[in-house]
Amino acid sequence: MNKIEEIIKEFPFQIILGSNSPRRHELLTSLGFKFLNKPINADESYPIDLLAEEIPLYLAEKKADAYEDELKDNEILITADTIVWCEGKVFNKPANFVEGKLMLETLSGKMHEVYTGVCLKSGNKQTTFYDVSKVYFKKLKPEEIEYYLINFSPYDKAGGYGVQDWLGYIGIDKIEGSFYNVMGLPVKELFEELVKF
């Protein structure tokens, strides 16, 4: 058994993923760790004076605080939040077709940043971190935006799109930083933080 295999198989904590996101579930599974999935339904409001990475860090901690069971010292709860940030404004999940269309029209032809904040919490310790990626969209045609919103219903995704689905395939010119961070979990940083924890 090599060192990495040993770290993953003999990891001394029970990992709990507090998320409804199938993408976060998929990414954590791909890291190799065994975990329990216990989605947390937390209020996702935040103070209006928060900017950029401050928002997902605040929300990741808020979700951790909303976890209903008492954490033991040998349990680690992982919570996360992802936002899209463009021209000094936050783009959360669109509520409907009109809002999604407006978001994608705004992001079209521009660079935006995707921030994911992560909170790791046990019975006696807590740490937070974030990652940021720059995403460059081509100029999207109105028919591309409409086709995407009608056929892919991306209403559970920050910014109204998924990097790993149709609009990501045809609309993204380049990404600076982690692709997986744009999906919703900075897995490289998460692995490093879990090993340190």
Instruction: Just list the catalytic residues.
Output: 81
For residues 30 and 17, what is the distance between their CA atoms, to the nearest angstrom? 14
CA distance 166 to 118: 26
HSE of 150 in the Cβ direction (CA atoms, 13 Å)? Answer: 6
CB 183 within 8 A of CB 159: no
Radius of gyration for the alpha carbons in the chain, expressed in angstroms and rounded: 17
